[in-house]
Amino acid sequence: MEKEANILNKILEKLKIKKAILFGHSDGGSISLIAAAKYPTKIAGIITEGAHVFVEDITLNGIREVVDAYKNTDLKNKLSKYHGTKVEAVFTAWSQTWLHPEYKDWNIEKFLSEIHCPSLIIQGANDEFGSEKQVDAIVSQVNGKSFKCMIPNAGHNPHKEAAKQTLEKVIHFVTDLTKG
């Protein structure tokens, strides 16, 4: 994910974006955290939703369940909407990376203390891929003003499962960020 954070930086440079507010979901949230740590002058704020900073058993168990669903349901067709003809390659790379035995020790907490911008850390209270420990680790270790936001009755996709509530939190955060 550090590689993707570096690519994100190159995209910001190419587009001549000098200050960005990043919004990352799941692995994208982790990438946003790394980017905010590595490129602090370019990031005005970050919003993460279901980000991971370390591997938990709940994460691995959730991924195993998705792998089973991918094999035994129409999940592949649903994911094709987002990944087109690359769905098999994307899904395999994602699941095999997270489930690889060497990945069990993956951890990006070393980056958190380098984050100085404001952050909104969102997670569904019923997230099937991570516990509230992820949110607490982020909020307690970043050096910028950080807000914890647990969305009740939502899983890994609060932007879909509790869209109105999630959007209200995001709008409030961005509005306050752009005023200051």
Mind listing the domains of the chain with CATH numbers? Answer: 2-54+108-179 (3.40.50.1820), 58-102 (no CATH)
- Going residue by residue through the chain, which has 180 residues, state the pLDDT in tens, using 9 for 90 and above: 999 999 999 999 999 999 999 999 999 999 999 999 999 999 999 999 999 999 999 999 999 999 999 999 999 999 999 899 999 999 999 999 999 999 999 999 999 999 999 999 999 999 999 999 999 999 999 998 999 999 999 999 999 999 999 999 999 999 999 886
3-state secondary structure the chain: CHHHHHHHHHHHHHCCCCCEEEEEECHHHHHHHHHHHHCCCCEEEEEEECCCCECCHHHHHHHHHHHHHHHHCCHHHHHHHHHHHHHHHHHHHHHHHHHCHHHHHCECHHHHCCCCCCEEEEEECCCCCCCHHHHHHHHHHCCCCEEEEEECCCCCCHHHHCHHHHHHHHHHHHHHHHHC
pTM over the 0.85 mark: yes
pLDDT value of residue 171? 97
pLDDT value of residue 179? 85
pLDDT value of residue 180? 64
